[in-house]
Structure 1
Amino acid sequence: MDQGPDWRIEDRAAFYTQDQGSEIMPAAWMAALRQPDGQPFLADRLTRYGYLVNDTNPTASLPVGFTLAGPPGRQVVGMTCAACHTREIEIQGRPYRIDGGPALADFERFLLDLRTAVARVQDDHLAFESFATEVLGQGADLRGKDALRRELDVWWRRYATIIDRSLPNERMWGPGRLDAISMIFNRVAGLDIGTGPDRIIEANMAPADAPTRYPFLWNASRQDQTQWPGFAENGNDVLALIRNLGQVYGVFASFHPVPDRRVPIFRVNYVAQNSANFAGLGRLEELIQRIGPPRAPFIRRTAETDALAAQGRAIFARDPDQGGCAVCHDPQPGAFRSLARESWLTTIRDVGTDSREIGLLGRQVQTGVLAGKGIPGFGTLGTTDKAVSVLALTVIGAIVQYPFTGRLEQMSPDRLISLPGEAGAAAAVVTTRRLRQAIRTEMPTGAPYESRVLQGIWAAAPYLHNGSVPTLADLLEPAANRPAAFEVGTEYDPVLVGLAREQPRSRGQIVTTDCSDRNSGNSRCGHEYGTGLSAAEKRALLEYLRRL
């Protein structure tokens, strides 16, 4: 796709493979795993889950967004932003790659199948022997196999626990969606902060049953608030680091905060056992800022269609009660975040959509090794506290401590922190109090979600924050008239603007609920703006939205 002059082939290659510190498992293990039919787990480069072949390196053994990091012989497989934020669509048999677009991958199925593959090795002696031979080589002795078994047991205990607690029932998400907030909370509060030897607090993990669609990344760095509930400040490199560090915790970063009285202020070391690649996270943010919104390849400009788009622009500019969109979705100056670029206002409003994700922000967890810990301007965690407060402390603690890695004893309560990157400047200077304000932990009233600027919205189906509406044409209908279920796949409908009704290579179905069950996680309710427009007005508005 044409995504602007700043998005180059070398940027795409880096975006597809840049390590951010995610560690799913050793690469040798994943290469040795088998599917139930005996084929290698990596046989099709995971394209069966909707992940995409890396066309910048067609011989790569892993798809777009999967990384290899570490020294030869000890490499680990991880994930990076592109796995969840690259998509393909097909129009009349022709595929189009959209960088930064919401993936249509089935992450849920990948996680469950990986569990099945490792369970077989855990439970079957012959399967383990075959696995060990592939990992260690033909000459592996008993000592080496025993050491491998111990490593696998530790990995399995942690992975099986979080998957079984997060996904107790299959098909909670479906393709193109995940409950990222629950998975981050489960990861940080469930696997990392326990007081026992394995650090696990099973009671802190809950079913991840508030699925949302992946957001698009173009212009994401400019919004002054982020996350679907809008609880995180955004718009400069430091705030982006907060956002991205929390994200990498949720996709297999290794992270264990260690209580340490020698560390001033914190009494906890957040960086000693933290695999997050801070330089890599900064590099990814630089790349994301270069991705432009895609230009639709199906626009046919004629005097008639241009006039229709102009009419649509006028409708877009109306007040919401007249079917307009601009008050929430046009670029408007936002809060000051950076000298380098103007941020855009992110309207956060309850428009009657599914409410389940909002409930996550009030979730309480045991704080384990972090009980009684805090930092200036943050407050102190109780023995139980909000999961979002635990996340905020671990993210802010790591960011504040990172520049002092190896010399944490030199930290001073009054010292400012210099972090690299602010739009090419040598450093961005922030305080712990300012960082604390970057993540809101109070419960919102109602069920408000963020409203993004709609450039490239044509390429972001399905719609609403939970992906419950397949096309923009359906979104202009009352909730009662929207599809109760639809197939998810790459086939694209330029007329309805979104997922085609027929999906020859369907990756699965999303079944929705109506307004009587708004808290289901799958409700198609709400956002009934434009539903009263005439058929001609809807055609005009869709023509305009196609061109954004």
Structure 2
Amino acid sequence: MTKIIPLAAAVTAASALLAGCSAFNSDNENHSHITDIARIQPAGAIPQRVGLDQGWNDETRWNFWFTSQGARIIPYNWFTWLEQADSTELFRSTDHMESLRYLPVASAASNPAGLPIGFALDEDDKTGEAWVGLTCAACHTNQIDYNGTKMLIEGAPTLGNFVLFFSQLVDALNATNMDDAKFERFARNVLGNEYDPERASDLRQNLGEIALASAERRMVNDLPAGYDSDFTSYARLDAFGNIQNAGSAFALHDLNNRNTPNAPVSYPFLWGTHQSDVVQWNASAPNTPVVGPLVRNIGEVVGVFGGLSIEEAPFWQRLWGKQTRYSSSVDMIGLGHLESWVKTLRSPAWPQQYLPVVDAVKAAEGAALYQQQCASCHQVIPRAKEGEKYIAVKTPVAEVGTDPATAWNAVYHQAKSLVLEGEKSKIIAGSKFESTTDAISIPVNGVIGMVLKEPGKALKAGLMPMRAGEKGNKTLKNPAEDKSLEQHLKDHIEARQQLIAGEVASSGAAGNKINGLDLTGLVYKARPLNGIWATAPFLHNGSVPSLWQLLQKPEQRVTEFWVGSRELDPVNVGFVTAEGLSEFRVTDDTGRIQPGNSNRGHRYGTDLSDAQKWALVEYMKTL
């Protein structure tokens, strides 16, 4: 039977465990050492949730929620006391954060302001200032409701609306800076006993600077006129687009050196991520030992306020060949811990204590159909073997027929190289940057630069997951430790180049096109479907609301449905779509499919009879 962990008990246990911040820090050197932030109760009620057995204990769960990866949005104390733009209600209020579909939890030593899961405290080593930033759990934890029971699913794709969250945050910062009364309340709370007119004036100056920088970030990632106002919306984000712009526009300090992030995708589920040979929806990054997960995770932080900056090196460094210098707030040791925990995460089994019991007869019929229709791409991995490595199937985009925007943008978006022109694209490998380049190469260069800047820390962080979950003698040396960081990095770069070359070779003749886009060499990743019941909506871009709809012929799938509801539909296996917080639309007002929102393609299993489709859905509940 699935072990059910009451979240109230988890919070109590974790709070007791973390009550002494120094004890927590002794086990996790990446965690902030700030101990003087007063514990504040959450601004509102915390829902009672239950947790499923996914291989984590309470300590691991809480650590994953609040260990920083080095992202910094605004100072922590500011976020604690910031009001919403159009009211005196705190921005962090549980009702407001829940409306954005983030998950409020109780305050603790590692979460002193009672912020939602994944809103982590990060310390600036130079200034000692505390910042709030997103960590993995903000985007990869979800709550699923059914008949009054709220189930917390670790590693599941969030329903959160990041674009709306950040837009409202920008408005709140600007309103606080512009409104004297609002600023006065903010300043007195932030400064506390240290409040005086001079400090308040300095605070307002700093607030104005961060409000401007935040508004610039929103502007760079804005969609142009013609897109639905909630095109990105709940449960999806153009992560690649944000990472590209973090490199080309922000790291290179040119706000015009941007691309439109118009290919939002569902947040992927995390279980099985460490075990796959490749990661990303377009299978663009190899999971090579040591540096593969580290490079992948640093890239993710760059996209969520990692503060990457690439600048011309000082004159004295250029004399001996160093042309550029790299800086960021990325916490590599924190990422080592986070990846170690992800390695031990397991998929959630369908909880029959809370959901309707699976029909065994239908599921048995569905198992045979799955082998015929699905298993060649989505292999079946028994739960006992979820910790083992697997090779993901990489299907040409032209063959699978799903929306191509994500894969195409990742390869064909261009940007100016600026200060990087003439430098090796991979620093220790690759051709030199010309005046323009594929946009994704800029943050990739920045990530490699950060790894090479702190090789000892990078190697330590990269090796940490190698032993996560191992039993027995931990003093045995891992063969990976015999290689230098630079050699690991060269192996990773070579694996990435081989991956790209292999995709081009296997993708068929040039000229594969959808909507005029040349898809030669572009693929999407297919992975095992363990825990798929907890990951709606489906397809990489979240354009199909349920497993039942996915089995309909593409031209017969629904083209409009509501997103944002947490209530599970256990029959169709997806969230309830008759109500929600925004409406997903495949087509625009003229009936034309909106690029990025297509629900076509993936015809596998769609020729089955309705009875066979229902059997297949029933079986997929058991995965």
TM-score > 0.5 by shorter chain: yes
Provide closer, same or farther for how the CA distance between residues 456 and 266 of structure 1 changes in structure 2, counting only shifts above 3 A: farther
Residues in 2 aligned to 1:89 and 1:405: alpha-carbon distance in whole angstroms: 38
Root mean square deviation of aligned Cα = 2.9
- What displacement does 1:126 show? 4.2
1:354·1:518 contact (CA, 8 Å) conserved in 2?
no
Of 409, 415, 423, which aligns to 2:466?
423
1:77 aligns with 2:132: yes
Q: Which moved more, 1:215-224 or 1:478-487?
A: 478-487
Q: 8 Å contact 1:23–1:253 — kept in the other structure?
A: yes
| Alignment-mate amino acid for residue 308 of structure 2 | F
2:101 — aligned with what?
50
Residue 153 of structure 2 aligns with which residue?
98
Alignment check: 8 A CA contact 1:29 1:135 kept: yes
Tell me the matched-pair count.
515
In structure 2, what is the Cα distance between the partners aligned to 1:133 and 1:403?
43
> Take 2:308 and 2:522, find their aligned partners in 1: how far apart are those partners?
31
Cα distance, 1:330 vs structure 2: 0.2
On the 8 A contact 2:336/2:462 being kept in 1, the answer is: no
- Find the partner of 1:492 among 568, 584, 591: 568
Q: 1:279 maps to which residue? A: 333
Q: Which residue of the partner structure matches residue 232 of structure 2? A: 173
- Aligned pair in 2 of structure 1 residues 368, 136: CA closer, same or farther (>3 Å)? farther
Q: In 2, Cα distance between the equivalents of 1:511 and 1:172?
A: 8
Matches within 5 A, 1:381-400: 381-400=433-452
The reply to whether residue 363 of structure 1 matches residue 413 of structure 2 is yes
Per the alignment, in what secondary structure is the counterpart of residue 309 of structure 2?
coil
What secondary structure, in the 3-state scheme, does the structure 1 residue paired with 2:120 have? strand
Structure 1 position 539, deviation (Å): 1.5
Match of 2:266 in 1: 213
What amino acid is the match of 2:166? L
Q: Does 1:11 align with 2:60?
A: yes
Letter in 2 for 1:370: L
Give the aligned residue type for 2:211. W
| 1:66 aligned partner | 119
Distance 1:519 1:439 in 2: 31
* Amino acid in structure 2 at the alignment position of 1:465: H
TM-aligned CA deviation for residue 111 of structure 1: 0.8
On the 8 A contact 2:402/2:600 being kept in 1, the answer is yes
The 5-angstrom pairing of residues 432-511 of structure 1 reads 432-439=489-496, 445=520, 448-488=523-563, 489-503=565-579, 506-511=580-585
Deviation at 1:141, TM superposition (A): 4.5
Quote how far apart the aligned CAs of 1:379 are.
2.3
**Shift of residue 439, structure 1, vs aligned partner:** 4.4
| Further displaced range: 53-62 or 150-159 | 53-62
Please state if 1:231 is matched with 2:281: no
After superposition, what is the alpha-carbon deviation per residue over 1:189-241, rounded to whole angstroms, capped at 9, x for unaligned? 111113xxxxxx12122332211111100111111111111111125342111
CA change 1:453–1:518 in 2 (3 A) is farther
DSSP 3-state at the match of 1:379: coil
1:183 deviation in Å? 0.8
Match of 1:268 in 2: 324
Give the SS at the match of 2:206: helix
Runs of 5+ unmatched residues, structure 1 = 195-200, 319-323, 333-339, 407-415
Q: Secondary structure at the match of 1:453?
A: coil
Change (3 A) 1:251 1:139: same
Other-structure match for 2:8? none
SS in 2 for 1:244: helix
- Flag structure 2 segments of 5+ consecutive residues without an equivalent: 4-51, 382-386, 468-476, 505-518
Contact kept? 1:20, 1:248, Cα under 8 Å: yes
Alpha-carbon separation, structure 2, partners of 1:445 and 1:518: 22
The verdict on how the C-alpha distance between 1:300 and 1:77 changes in structure 2, with shifts beyond 3 A counting, is closer
Query: For 1:242-278, what per-residue CA distance to the aligned partner results, in whole angstroms no more than 9, with x for missing partners?
Result: 11100011111122134326386653232xx321110
Residue 419 of structure 2 is aligned to residue 343 of structure 1: no
Distance in 2, matches of 1:241 and 1:265, equals 27
Query: Cα gap change, 1:383/1:155 in structure 2, threshold over 3 Å: closer, same or farther?
Result: farther
Per-residue CA shift, 1:446-489, capped at 9, x if unaligned? 75311111111111100000000000000000122211111121
Matched, 1:538 2:591: no
Per-residue CA distance 1:123-159 (angstroms, 9 max, x = gap): 3344434433333346545543443344333323322
Conserved in 1, the CA contact under 8 Å of 2:107 and 2:115? no
CA distance in 2, matches of 1:56, 1:28: 14
SS in 2 for 1:120: helix
Distance 2:495 2:202 in 1: 43
Equivalent of residue 524 in structure 1, options 592, 599, 604: 599
Q: Give the Cα–Cα distance (whole angstroms) in 2 for the partners of residues 222 and 183 of structure 1.
A: 26
Tell me, in whole angstroms, the C-alpha distance in 2 between the residues paired with 1:13 and 1:218.
17
Contact 1:331 1:345 in 2 (8 A): no
Partners of 2:494 and 2:106 in 1: CA distance: 41
Give the secondary structure class of the aligned counterpart of 1:204. Answer: coil
